[in-house]
Structure 1
């Protein structure tokens, strides 16, 4: 009798699983099983995401700075070519450019 009750509960849980749409990361479940607060996982995850975001933004800024410096050096070193093409800071040719095919 008790076995049938337990099996009935397992069947009820199995039927309920199809109604769930939320996803819980396995790491959170492991935190709970190990007696840790799942908020610690969330806090560490957000901290890591913010750190990676800051690192990526630093790389983007470095590339932008290099692009500006490269554009300025091209303008100094190749003034004739530079004025007839487009600036690296722009994504389109300048309006006063002329096409000189070599």
Structure 2
């Protein structure tokens, strides 16, 4: 039993620390960086509550590991303080919209670094981006080749096509400038 309690406690502490780190860095918070966002306003309070809870868990671990009948009252007081802090944390967390992917929680439960998840997601995005860029470059090359072939076969039509493209590009540019205002 001595081994089970610290492991589950350290796993819970690691999960809480990861959620606090994600909250502090703004990861997973919906609504952007607007200061009037209520979830951003409660974020610091939730993070502080998580830190207080971790401190209480540490104190409880120390009390339990050196338990004697004389330390029963302080242990009960710390348990009551932990319950009150968890209640406070739950009430504060209702105002925040922080989403932690289950993969991150599973990594933490397995004793691994949650940064592995971020690294894997970024590597996956980079690979998909390279594939998409390759496809885009292939289509650009095909377009260029087709225009060259068509210009040899139909020079007048290609010149008219280029004028139409230039005119429509100018109109699109003016409209995009108008809509930015």
**Secondary structure of 1:91's aligned partner:** helix
> 2:175 aligned with 1:86, yes or no?
no
Structure 1 gap segments, 5+ residues each:
94-102
Answer 1 or 2: which has greater helix percent. 2
What TM-score results when the alignment is normalised by the length of structure 2?
Answer: 0.42
Rounded Cα–Cα distance in structure 2 between residues aligned with 1:57 and 1:19: 41
RMSD: 2.6
> 2:95 aligned with 1:23, yes or no?
no
Deviation, structure 1 residue 72: 0.6
Cα 1:91/1:80, change in 2 over 3 Å:
closer
Question: Greater RCO between the two (CA within 8 Å, min separation 6)?
Answer: 2
Structure 2 gap segments, 5+ residues each:
1-75, 168-181
Rounded Cα–Cα distance in structure 2 between residues aligned with 1:52 and 1:65: 20
1:70 to 138, 142, 146: 146
What TM-score results when the alignment is normalised by the length of structure 1?
Answer: 0.69
Rounded Cα–Cα distance in structure 2 between residues aligned with 1:81 and 1:17: 65
